[in-house]
A and B are shown apart, each in its own frame.
Chain A
């Protein structure tokens, strides 16, 4: 994959300021980087470093105060709220820390949700795509289960399937393993790595856990609204191997995806 020719995310001198009464808080203070198709980038930083603000802007939920953000060649700063919604719907996939699945709604319907807001898909096409996405995260057997009948890891897999279903140019994950134990976290990272390696999905993963970052190919570290480090990870850990190295447990675990 030729990185130079397939830049999908281009950020230049991004600023985001919030007015807190009299004071102006500079959450982002001149951030610039590019992400190419097929990259797996983690964004690290302590709380208050601006990583959530950055993710909100990358996710087209917020607009920068100044600077440009080109997503797939389109200047996001110039779009209206409605257009932004359309972009989130067609170009992005979100994975949240707290899964954010609709309660009392089956896994299948949760995954179908983004396509519901896209008139190009018929009910039949929605179902086909959702089933395919659930298969990709290894949940073919849990299609009609409700979120409260699924484990945390399984719920996050449903959320990942939901992020995949619209074939986004980029998947954004916000502390996606934050609510999970180490073993389940590694299982999720295994899935994420597989999506990146095998299916070539571009992934931006916000985390503050260094071991999660070690599974990615590149890590951008933020501090006080600025990038203090942007390094290619020379020693990418394999989540499957890390999982195997964990001390064995007695209870049966969810079948990892292979």
Chain B
């Protein structure tokens, strides 16, 4: 029998039992809608985490002193003093897989502009810091290497600082502010960066030349952190290795000893978060997948009923020349049609449900083409798999017995 006729035949059989076909489809509809919606929610949260993390500075590598045990007391990594200027110099000497390097020290204290004051962080960095964090200036200019050399009292301020110290809306560029009684001239305003993934206000910061903060505020020669930027996302692992080697040489660590510093890339952080949301996605997809299987069993059940009901018809068809394969195809096409129709309706419902989740719960969602195609394929396979045995049973009927069936 031709495929067109088979489809006509299946459509007619479905039409005759509309309610039954719909109830059978319902299992598939719910299953597919659940798969689409759940994967969309999982993908959405994954994507939003990824974009937030990459917003922190693409390809950023963070080097911190290792926590260490000195004289029995375990010291945290801000107290440990291992990263110094020669380390930065060594890193900047001949980098292969990373470009910009910036040391960082920070201090917390009150900043004052006339009658307004605010407690915040001042961070001492090098001019490259803005490049590493991919953080452009909104206005003004960055400080220079010369400012670092001379420990110039200049600074860049974040949006939160601007709004707290200049509530009247006046232009902060060129104004003097005082941090711990040390005057700083504002030469640039940072663009708004918003909260990070952990809810920290990234705009609540003052950036100044690293030496200025080291000498004039902290009176230290050590760095708390060194930032670097890998050439691109692919070379982060190589950059991490390269930095580790350079620092081990710079610290003269003999082979076999532990590093006295930690090198972390954003990729690691991203991987951790993506892995978490990946597990979430898989979990959701598995739950949804189970409902698809239940739907498939529904199809199988109804196809068995259908075959038994139509035993006599099968006998007649066989007696007038239908081959086993014709009967098999007749019932298989019917099962596939039910599951695929259910799948299409399910996709529509799934996308609608996803939209509702975004509108009412403000959850990030992402319906990927892959999830739609995949669930459609799964429906087709469900139809074939669960339709095959009833169809095979039908095709194996003995025409004489089937004709006599009442």
Chain A residues with a Cβ under 8 A of chain B: 56, 59, 61-62, 81-82, 85-86, 88-90, 94, 96, 100, 102, 104, 113-114, 116-119, 162, 166
16 contacts between A and B (CB under 8 A): A59-B319, A61-B319, A61-B399, A81-B323, A81-B324, A85-B326, A86-B321, A89-B321, A96-B316, A100-B312, A104-B16, A113-B317, A117-B320, A117-B322, A117-B326, A166-B321
Residue B318 CB within 8 A of the other chain: yes
Residue pair A117, B323 in contact (C-beta under 8 Å): yes
Closest to A101 in B: B316
- Residues in A with CB closer than 8 Å to B316 are 96, 100, 102
Contacts of A116 in B (CB 8 A): 1, 5
Does B313 count as interface, using CB distance less than 8 angstroms? yes
CB pair B312 A85 closer than 8 Å: no
Q: Is B187 an interface residue (CB 8 A)?
A: no
Set A82, A104, A119, A162: member contacting B320, Cβ < 8 A: A162
Q: Mark B4-33, 1 if CB is under 8 A from A, else 0.
A: 010000000000100000000000000000
In the assembled complex, the Cα of A119 lies from the Cα of B325 at a distance in Å of 14
Closest 5 pairs between A and B when the two form their complex, measured CB to CB: A89-B321, A85-B323, A114-B320, A117-B321, A100-B316
CA distance A108 to B317 in the complex (A): 16
Residues of chain A within 8 A (CB-CB) of B221 are: none
Q: How far in angstroms is the closest Cβ of chain B from A99? A: 10
Smallest CB gap from B325: residue in A: A82
Is the pair B321, A56 in contact by a Cβ cutoff of 8 Å?
A: no
Contacts of B322 in A (CB 8 A): 85, 89, 117
A sample of 7 more A-B contacts (CB under 8 A), given A61-B400, A62-B400, A82-B325, is: A85-B321, A86-B321, A88-B320, A89-B320, A90-B321, A117-B321, A118-B321
Cβ–Cβ contact B323 & A114, under 8 A: no
- Contact partner, A94, options B2, B319, B324, Cβ 8 Å: B319
Residues of A within 8 A of B319 (CB): 59, 61, 88, 94
List chain B residues, Cβ under 8 A from A102: 313, 316
A45 and B79 CA atoms in complex are apart in Å by: 111
| Residues in A whose Cβ lies below 8 Å from that of B320 | 88-89, 94, 113-114, 117, 162
CB pair A114 B321 closer than 8 Å: yes
Q: Which residues of chain B from 266 to 323 have a CB within 8 Å of any chain A CB? A: 312-313, 315-323
Residues of B contacting A59 with CB < 8 Å?
319
Chain B residues with CB under 8 Å of A117's CB are: 1, 317, 320-323, 326
Among A56, A62, A85, the residue within 8 A (CB) of B318 is A85
Give every chain B residue within 8 A of A89 (Cβ-Cβ): 320-322
Contact B323 A119 (CB under 8 A): no
Q: Is B381 an interface residue (CB 8 A)?
A: no
Minimum Cβ distance to chain B for residue A219 (Å): 24
Q: In the bound complex, how far is the Cα of B16 from the Cα of A102, in angstroms?
A: 13
Q: In the complex, what residues of A have CB within 8 A of residue B5's CB?
A: 116
- Other-chain residue from A61, A86, A104 in contact with B323 (beta carbon distance below 8 A): A86
Chain A contacts of B315 at CB under 8 A? 100
* B137 on the A face (CB < 8 A): no
Q: Which residues in B have their C-beta under 8 angstroms from that of A113?
A: 317, 320
Which residue of B5, B316, B320, B322 has the most chain A CB atoms within 10 A of its CB atom? B320
- The reply on B348 being an interface residue by CB < 8 A is no
User: Roughly how many angstroms separate A61 CA and B324 CA in the complex, as a whole number?
Assistant: 13
With both beta carbons as reference points, the residue of chain A lying nearest to B312 in the complex is identified as: A100
Q: How far is the CB of B314 from chain A (nearest CB, A)?
A: 11
Inside 8 A of B400's CB, which chain A residues have their CB?
Answer: 56, 61-62
Could you mark each residue 88-110 of chain B with 1 if its beta carbon is under 8 Å from any beta carbon of chain A, else 0? Answer: 00000000000000000000000
Chain A residue at minimal CB-CB distance from B322 = A117
A residues in contact with B326, CB < 8 Å: 85, 117
- In the complex formed, the residue of A with least CB distance to B326 is A117
Q: In the complex, which residues of chain A have a beta carbon less than 8 angstroms from the beta carbon of B317?
A: 113, 117
Chain A residues whose C-beta falls within 8 Å of the C-beta of B312 in the assembled complex: 100
- Give Cα A85–Cα B328 distance, bound, in whole angstroms: 14
Quote the shortest CB–CB distance from B15 to chain A (angstroms): 10
Bound together, the chains give a CA A109 to CA B17 distance in angstroms of 20
Tell me whether B403 is interfacial, beta carbon within 8 Å: yes
Bound together, the chains give a CA A82 to CA B396 distance in angstroms of 12
A253 to B36, CA, bound (A): 63
Among residues of A, the one whose C-beta sits closest to the C-beta of B4 is A123
Given A62-B400, A100-B403, A102-B313, do A85 and B1 touch, yes or no (CB 8 Å)? no
In the complex, A82 Cα to B323 Cα: how many Å?
6
User: What CA separation (Å) do A116 and B315 show in the bound complex?
Assistant: 16
Q: Bound complex: CA of A104 vs CA of B12, how far in Å?
A: 10
Measured between C-beta atoms, what is the minimum distance from B326 to chain A in Å?
Answer: 6
Q: Report chain A residues within 8 Å CB of B313.
A: 102
CA distance A81 to B321 in the complex (A): 10
Q: Which of B321-338 contact A (CB under 8 A)?
A: 321-326
Alpha-carbon gap, A113 to B314, bound state (A): 12
| Complex-state Cα separation, A104 to B9, whole angstroms | 12
In-complex Cβ contact of A85 among B2, B16, B324, B403 (8 A): B324
In contact, B403 and A96 (Cβ under 8 angstroms): yes
Distance, CA A65 to CA B78, complexed state (A): 96
| Residues on A with beta carbons closer than 8 Å to the beta carbon of B16 | 104
Please tell me if the beta carbons of B324 and A82 are within 8 angstroms of each other in the complex.
yes
CA distance A61 to B400 in the complex (A): 7
Q: Which B residues are CB-close (under 8 A) to A119?
A: 2
Q: Which residues of B contact A88 (CB under 8 A)?
A: 318-321
CA distance A113 to B1 in the complex (A): 10
How distant is A183 from chain B, measured CB to nearest CB, in Å? 27
Q: State the Cβ distance, A129 to closest chain B Cβ, in Å.
A: 14
Return B306 CB to nearest CB of chain A, in Å.
14
Cα–Cα distance between A96 and B400 once the two chains are bound (Å): 12
Interchain CA distance A96-B316 in the complex, whole Å? 9
A56 to B404, CA, bound (A): 12
